[in-house]
Protein backbone atom coordinates (compact mmCIF):
# COMPACT_ATOMS: atom_id res chain seq x y z
CA UNK A 1 0.00 0.00 0.00
CA UNK A 2 2.88 2.36 0.72
CA UNK A 3 4.33 1.67 -2.71
CA UNK A 4 0.95 2.21 -4.39
CA UNK A 5 0.33 5.48 -2.49
CA UNK A 6 3.73 6.75 -3.58
CA UNK A 7 3.18 5.57 -7.15
CA UNK A 8 -0.19 7.26 -7.66
CA UNK A 9 1.15 10.64 -6.58
CA UNK A 10 2.48 10.96 -10.11
CA UNK A 11 -0.39 11.76 -12.46
CA UNK A 12 1.75 10.93 -15.51
CA UNK A 13 2.74 7.49 -14.19
CA UNK A 14 -0.86 6.74 -13.20
CA UNK A 15 -2.04 7.75 -16.68
CA UNK A 16 0.64 5.48 -18.17
CA UNK A 17 -0.62 2.59 -16.04
CA UNK A 18 -4.21 3.23 -17.14
CA UNK A 19 -3.05 3.32 -20.77
CA UNK A 20 -1.26 -0.02 -20.41
CA UNK A 21 -4.32 -1.62 -18.77
CA UNK A 22 -6.55 -0.23 -21.52
CA UNK A 23 -4.17 -1.60 -24.14
CA UNK A 24 -4.39 -4.98 -22.46
CA UNK A 25 -8.19 -4.90 -22.64
CA UNK A 26 -8.01 -3.97 -26.33
CA UNK A 27 -5.63 -6.86 -27.02
CA UNK A 28 -7.83 -9.36 -25.19
CA UNK A 29 -11.02 -8.16 -26.88
CA UNK A 30 -9.43 -7.61 -30.31
CA UNK A 31 -11.92 -9.79 -32.26
CA UNK A 32 -14.83 -7.89 -30.70
CA UNK A 33 -13.38 -4.40 -31.13
CA UNK A 34 -11.94 -4.78 -34.60
CA UNK A 35 -14.18 -3.04 -37.19
CA UNK A 36 -12.93 -5.30 -40.02
CA UNK A 37 -10.97 -8.48 -40.52
CA UNK A 38 -7.26 -7.58 -40.26
CA UNK A 39 -6.30 -9.69 -43.30
CA UNK A 40 -9.27 -8.86 -45.53
CA UNK A 41 -7.91 -7.62 -48.88
CA UNK A 42 -9.90 -5.05 -50.88
CA UNK A 43 -7.84 -3.78 -53.82
CA UNK A 44 -10.56 -1.28 -54.72
CA UNK A 45 -9.85 0.55 -51.44
CA UNK A 46 -6.04 0.68 -51.63
CA UNK A 47 -4.47 3.68 -49.86
CA UNK A 48 -7.78 5.13 -48.69
CA UNK A 49 -7.01 7.99 -46.28
CA UNK A 50 -8.68 7.98 -42.84
CA UNK A 51 -12.46 8.30 -43.11
CA UNK A 52 -15.58 7.12 -41.29
CA UNK A 53 -15.40 3.58 -42.69
CA UNK A 54 -11.64 3.26 -42.06
CA UNK A 55 -10.61 5.65 -39.23
CA UNK A 56 -6.91 4.82 -39.70
CA UNK A 57 -7.10 4.42 -43.49
CA UNK A 58 -6.12 1.38 -45.56
CA UNK A 59 -2.78 -0.02 -46.72
CA UNK A 60 -1.36 -1.13 -50.08
CA UNK A 61 -3.69 -4.15 -50.18
CA UNK A 62 -6.78 -2.34 -49.00
CA UNK A 63 -6.59 -3.82 -45.50
CA UNK A 64 -8.00 -1.76 -42.65
CA UNK A 65 -5.11 -0.26 -40.67
CA UNK A 66 -7.15 0.13 -37.47
CA UNK A 67 -8.07 -3.57 -37.51
CA UNK A 68 -4.43 -4.52 -38.03
CA UNK A 69 -3.36 -2.17 -35.24
CA UNK A 70 -5.87 -3.68 -32.81
CA UNK A 71 -4.80 -7.24 -33.60
CA UNK A 72 -1.16 -6.15 -33.66
CA UNK A 73 -1.44 -5.01 -30.04
CA UNK A 74 -1.80 -8.69 -29.12
CA UNK A 75 1.55 -9.55 -30.67
CA UNK A 76 3.30 -6.61 -29.03
CA UNK A 77 1.96 -7.32 -25.55
CA UNK A 78 2.43 -11.09 -25.79
CA UNK A 79 6.03 -10.65 -26.88
CA UNK A 80 6.76 -7.91 -24.36
CA UNK A 81 5.21 -9.57 -21.31
CA UNK A 82 6.04 -13.21 -22.11
CA UNK A 83 9.67 -12.55 -23.06
CA UNK A 84 10.16 -10.45 -19.93
CA UNK A 85 8.62 -13.10 -17.66
CA UNK A 86 10.76 -15.82 -19.23
CA UNK A 87 13.94 -13.78 -18.94
CA UNK A 88 12.94 -12.86 -15.37
CA UNK A 89 12.58 -16.55 -14.49
CA UNK A 90 15.97 -17.43 -15.98
CA UNK A 91 17.77 -14.38 -14.64
CA UNK A 92 16.31 -14.60 -11.14
CA UNK A 93 17.12 -18.30 -10.82
CA UNK A 94 20.71 -18.04 -12.02
CA UNK A 95 21.35 -14.75 -10.21
CA UNK A 96 20.00 -16.14 -6.95
CA UNK A 97 22.16 -19.27 -7.17
CA UNK A 98 25.25 -17.24 -8.04
CA UNK A 99 24.71 -14.65 -5.33
CA UNK A 100 23.70 -17.03 -2.55
CA UNK A 101 26.22 -19.84 -3.01
CA UNK A 102 29.09 -18.00 -4.72
CA UNK A 103 32.14 -20.07 -5.60
CA UNK A 104 32.10 -22.06 -8.83
CA UNK A 105 28.41 -21.34 -9.51
CA UNK A 106 29.01 -17.61 -9.27
CA UNK A 107 32.08 -17.87 -11.51
CA UNK A 108 30.24 -19.83 -14.22
CA UNK A 109 27.17 -17.59 -14.22
CA UNK A 110 29.29 -14.43 -14.26
CA UNK A 111 31.38 -15.69 -17.19
CA UNK A 112 28.26 -16.61 -19.18
CA UNK A 113 26.84 -13.13 -18.55
CA UNK A 114 30.08 -11.50 -19.67
CA UNK A 115 30.17 -13.59 -22.86
CA UNK A 116 26.60 -12.64 -23.79
CA UNK A 117 27.29 -8.97 -23.04
CA UNK A 118 30.18 -9.02 -25.50
CA UNK A 119 27.71 -9.27 -28.39
CA UNK A 120 25.64 -6.25 -29.46
CA UNK A 121 22.07 -6.87 -28.31
CA UNK A 122 20.26 -6.35 -31.61
CA UNK A 123 22.76 -8.42 -33.63
CA UNK A 124 22.48 -11.29 -31.16
CA UNK A 125 18.67 -11.21 -31.42
CA UNK A 126 18.84 -11.06 -35.22
CA UNK A 127 21.22 -14.01 -35.30
CA UNK A 128 19.00 -16.17 -33.07
CA UNK A 129 15.81 -15.32 -35.00
CA UNK A 130 17.53 -15.88 -38.36
CA UNK A 131 18.83 -19.25 -37.16
CA UNK A 132 15.25 -20.46 -36.77
CA UNK A 133 12.20 -19.67 -38.86
CA UNK A 134 10.93 -16.18 -37.91
CA UNK A 135 7.91 -16.68 -35.68
CA UNK A 136 6.43 -15.54 -32.40
CA UNK A 137 8.19 -18.33 -30.53
CA UNK A 138 11.60 -17.65 -32.03
CA UNK A 139 11.28 -13.98 -31.07
CA UNK A 140 10.30 -14.90 -27.50
CA UNK A 141 13.24 -17.27 -27.17
CA UNK A 142 15.68 -14.76 -28.67
CA UNK A 143 14.55 -11.97 -26.34
CA UNK A 144 14.58 -14.21 -23.27
CA UNK A 145 18.10 -15.46 -24.05
CA UNK A 146 19.45 -11.95 -24.50
CA UNK A 147 17.58 -10.13 -21.70
CA UNK A 148 18.05 -12.45 -18.72
CA UNK A 149 21.56 -11.15 -18.06
CA UNK A 150 20.25 -7.83 -16.73
CA UNK A 151 17.91 -9.53 -14.25
CA UNK A 152 20.64 -11.96 -13.20
CA UNK A 153 23.08 -9.15 -12.41
CA UNK A 154 20.51 -7.30 -10.30
CA UNK A 155 19.50 -10.43 -8.37
CA UNK A 156 23.09 -11.55 -7.86
CA UNK A 157 24.09 -8.15 -6.47
CA UNK A 158 21.12 -8.09 -4.09
CA UNK A 159 21.76 -11.65 -2.89
CA UNK A 160 25.42 -10.89 -2.25
CA UNK A 161 24.31 -7.97 -0.07
CA UNK A 162 21.36 -9.54 1.72
CA UNK A 163 23.00 -12.89 2.52
CA UNK A 164 25.42 -11.06 4.84
CA UNK A 165 22.72 -9.20 6.81
CA UNK A 166 21.78 -10.09 10.36
CA UNK A 167 18.35 -11.59 9.69
CA UNK A 168 19.85 -14.01 7.15
CA UNK A 169 22.48 -15.17 9.66
CA UNK A 170 19.75 -15.47 12.31
CA UNK A 171 17.62 -17.66 10.04
CA UNK A 172 20.61 -19.91 9.35
CA UNK A 173 21.47 -20.10 13.05
CA UNK A 174 17.90 -21.22 13.78
CA UNK A 175 18.39 -24.15 11.41
CA UNK A 176 16.48 -22.89 8.38
CA UNK A 177 17.29 -24.72 5.14
CA UNK A 178 18.81 -22.98 2.15
CA UNK A 179 15.58 -23.03 0.09
CA UNK A 180 13.66 -21.50 3.03
CA UNK A 181 16.27 -18.78 3.50
CA UNK A 182 16.28 -18.03 -0.23
CA UNK A 183 12.51 -17.94 -0.83
CA UNK A 184 11.32 -16.69 2.57
CA UNK A 185 13.97 -14.18 3.57
CA UNK A 186 16.32 -13.19 0.74
CA UNK A 187 14.30 -13.24 -2.48
CA UNK A 188 11.41 -11.00 -1.28
CA UNK A 189 13.95 -8.36 -0.26
CA UNK A 190 15.81 -8.63 -3.58
CA UNK A 191 12.89 -8.22 -5.97
CA UNK A 192 12.64 -4.42 -5.91
CA UNK A 193 15.30 -3.66 -8.55
CA UNK A 194 14.16 -6.69 -10.57
CA UNK A 195 10.57 -5.44 -10.83
CA UNK A 196 11.80 -2.08 -12.06
CA UNK A 197 14.07 -3.80 -14.57
CA UNK A 198 11.13 -5.95 -15.74
CA UNK A 199 9.07 -2.86 -16.56
CA UNK A 200 11.86 -1.46 -18.70
CA UNK A 201 12.35 -4.94 -20.17
CA UNK A 202 8.77 -5.04 -21.47
CA UNK A 203 9.33 -1.73 -23.26
CA UNK A 204 12.59 -2.99 -24.74
CA UNK A 205 10.98 -6.23 -25.91
CA UNK A 206 8.10 -4.40 -27.62
CA UNK A 207 10.53 -2.09 -29.37
CA UNK A 208 12.73 -5.00 -30.47
CA UNK A 209 9.77 -7.00 -31.80
CA UNK A 210 8.63 -3.96 -33.80
CA UNK A 211 12.12 -3.60 -35.25
CA UNK A 212 12.25 -7.29 -36.20
CA UNK A 213 8.82 -7.12 -37.84
CA UNK A 214 9.90 -3.98 -39.69
CA UNK A 215 12.90 -5.91 -41.04
CA UNK A 216 10.71 -8.86 -42.05
CA UNK A 217 11.90 -11.16 -39.25
CA UNK A 218 8.83 -10.84 -37.07
CA UNK A 219 5.64 -12.86 -36.92
CA UNK A 220 4.75 -14.79 -40.04
CA UNK A 221 2.77 -13.02 -42.74
CA UNK A 222 -0.17 -12.26 -42.88
CA UNK A 223 -0.35 -11.92 -39.08
CA UNK A 224 -0.46 -8.27 -38.08
CA UNK A 225 1.98 -6.51 -35.79
CA UNK A 226 2.81 -2.85 -35.32
CA UNK A 227 6.21 -3.33 -36.90
CA UNK A 228 4.80 -5.03 -40.01
CA UNK A 229 2.20 -2.26 -40.43
CA UNK A 230 4.99 0.29 -40.16
CA UNK A 231 7.12 -1.62 -42.67
CA UNK A 232 4.46 -1.14 -45.35
CA UNK A 233 4.82 2.63 -44.95
CA UNK A 234 8.46 2.62 -46.07
CA UNK A 235 7.62 2.59 -49.78
CA UNK A 236 4.54 4.79 -49.64
CA UNK A 237 5.38 7.38 -46.98
CA UNK A 238 5.24 10.24 -49.47
CA UNK A 239 1.49 9.96 -50.02
CA UNK A 240 0.22 7.42 -47.43
CA UNK A 241 1.28 9.25 -44.28
CA UNK A 242 -1.21 7.38 -42.06
CA UNK A 243 0.67 4.10 -42.55
CA UNK A 244 3.62 5.53 -40.60
CA UNK A 245 1.78 7.84 -38.19
CA UNK A 246 -0.54 5.45 -36.35
CA UNK A 247 1.78 2.46 -35.78
CA UNK A 248 4.62 4.84 -34.95
CA UNK A 249 2.47 6.58 -32.32
CA UNK A 250 1.35 3.23 -30.89
CA UNK A 251 4.93 2.01 -30.50
CA UNK A 252 6.11 5.33 -29.06
CA UNK A 253 3.30 5.73 -26.51
CA UNK A 254 3.45 2.10 -25.36
CA UNK A 255 7.23 2.10 -24.87
CA UNK A 256 7.03 5.50 -23.15
CA UNK A 257 4.24 4.25 -20.85
CA UNK A 258 6.22 1.22 -19.66
CA UNK A 259 9.31 3.39 -19.15
CA UNK A 260 7.29 5.88 -17.09
CA UNK A 261 5.87 3.06 -14.98
CA UNK A 262 9.33 1.64 -14.41
CA UNK A 263 10.77 5.03 -13.52
CA UNK A 264 8.00 5.74 -11.00
CA UNK A 265 8.16 2.23 -9.58
CA UNK A 266 11.88 2.73 -8.96
CA UNK A 267 11.08 5.86 -6.92
CA UNK A 268 8.24 4.12 -5.06
CA UNK A 269 10.49 1.20 -4.07
CA UNK A 270 13.20 3.53 -2.76
CA UNK A 271 13.02 3.31 1.05
CA UNK A 272 14.50 6.81 1.40
CA UNK A 273 11.74 8.39 -0.73
Residue 92 CB neighbours (<10 A): 22
Which has the minimum average pLDDT: 69-83, 88-102, 156-170, 259-273? 259-273
Indicate the pTM of the whole model. Answer: 0.82
Average pLDDT, the chain: 84
Residue 174 CB neighbours (<10 A): 9
270 pLDDT tier (thresholds 50, 70, 90): low
Write out pLDDT tens, residues 165-222.
888 888 888 888 888 888 888 887 777 778 878 888 888 888 888 888 877 777 766 6
Mean pLDDT for the stretch of residues 80-86: 88
Mean pLDDT for the stretch of residues 36-59: 85
- As assigned by CATH, the class of the 2-37+64-268 domain is mainly alpha
pLDDT of residue 21: 93
118 pLDDT tier (thresholds 50, 70, 90): confident
Domain map (residue ranges) of the chain? 2-37+64-268
Amino acid sequence: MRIWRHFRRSAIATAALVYVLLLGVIAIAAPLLSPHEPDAIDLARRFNPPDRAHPFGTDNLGRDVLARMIHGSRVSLIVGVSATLLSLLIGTTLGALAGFYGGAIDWIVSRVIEILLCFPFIFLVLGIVALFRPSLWSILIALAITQWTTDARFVRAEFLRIRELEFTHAARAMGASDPRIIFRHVLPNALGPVLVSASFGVASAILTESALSFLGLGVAIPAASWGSVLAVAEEYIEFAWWLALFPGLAIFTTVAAFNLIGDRLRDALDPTA
